[in-house]
Amino acid sequence: MPLSESPELDSLLERKLANFRDFQKEQEGVWDTVNGAYLVSRGLVSAVAKDGVLPAGGSHRLTMWQTVLNYQMESFFLLIDRRLDEGLALLRMAAELARDVGRISDDATLVDTWLNRVNGKAQKNAYRDAFRFSDSDRIEVYVHKLYDLASTFGIHGHTLTSSSLQPNRLSPDGKVFALGVPDVEVYRTIEIWLAAFFPLQELCHRVFRVTGGATVVQAGLHYDQMRKAFDDVFAMYRESLQKLDADVLAGLH
């Protein structure tokens, strides 16, 4: 179908692309750093797959890990597109699934519990009992807090985007305001996303890195280098938000 025959979809697509371009221009350092984080995380997934030596339940955990990474990246683009509720809801899903990868890493027999969780009340209860955040683990307790934060703002709210709307332009006749989500609200939710990226990845890959071969070790070195650079950029990003009084993670630590 020619583009001229789908003006509404064309307009929607152009708006999305404009949001992406604007963020890329205004937050070039964040954009490039997220690109690097995605690259090394995807590289680590590929290295585990290429190693070919997976522990019990490893194949299923690898697939779950890939899904976590996909959720995270789709969440990033939703937030940039100013769809704040949906972006945080998907980040919550990523955190939940990363937690489940961690539980199966602890006990490979839990794969069946995870797969059967939708087959009845008893199976659902068994899943809920087994798949909980371990708050004695330093990474999981942090991810748990991020999960709760994303739940409050995203899944259980449904109003973050609408409550953030502000007038951003006036109609030619001066009678009607157009509403939009301001940049600062996008930056606030991106802060949550950035805080979650590597902790979620660590829940997924840490057992693989212990048992992996030379390919995984090499990919892990690149991953660790990128994480340090990521943390440095994130620290600067939070400083900028604090100056805007928009830091939502101040009480998290």
Residue partners of 152: CB distance under 8 A and separation at least 6 = none
Residue partners of 53: CB distance under 8 A and separation at least 6 = 211, 212, 213
Averaged pLDDT for residues 177-206: 85
Q: How far apart are CA 210 and CA 205, in angstroms?
A: 9
The label of the residue with tokens 């991020």 reads 146
Q: Which amino acid does the sequence have at 186?
A: V
Provide the pLDDT for residue 5.
77
Q: Are 113 and 127 in contact (CB under 8 A)?
A: yes
Averaged pLDDT for residues 75-100: 94
Provide the pLDDT for residue 155.
54
pLDDT in tens, 14-73: 989 999 999 999 999 999 999 999 999 999 999 999 887 676 668 889 999 999 999 999
Provide the pLDDT for residue 212.
84
Write the DSSP symbol of residue 4. G
Provide the pLDDT for residue 172.
55
Q: Are 223 and 43 in contact (CB under 8 A)?
A: yes
In the structure, what pLDDT confidence band is assigned to residue 252 with cuts at 50, 70 and 90?
Answer: low
Q: Are 191 and 237 in contact (CB under 8 A)?
A: yes
**Cross-strand pairs, 180:** 166
Averaged pLDDT for residues 79-86: 91
Averaged pLDDT for residues 125-142: 93
In the structure, what pLDDT confidence band is assigned to residue 242 with cuts at 50, 70 and 90?
Answer: confident
Q: What is the pTM of this model?
A: 0.85
Provide the pLDDT for residue 55.
66
Averaged pLDDT for residues 173-196: 75
- Classify the phi-psi angles of 107: left when phi > 0, otherwise alpha if psi is within -120 to 50, otherwise beta: beta
Provide the pLDDT for residue 211.
84
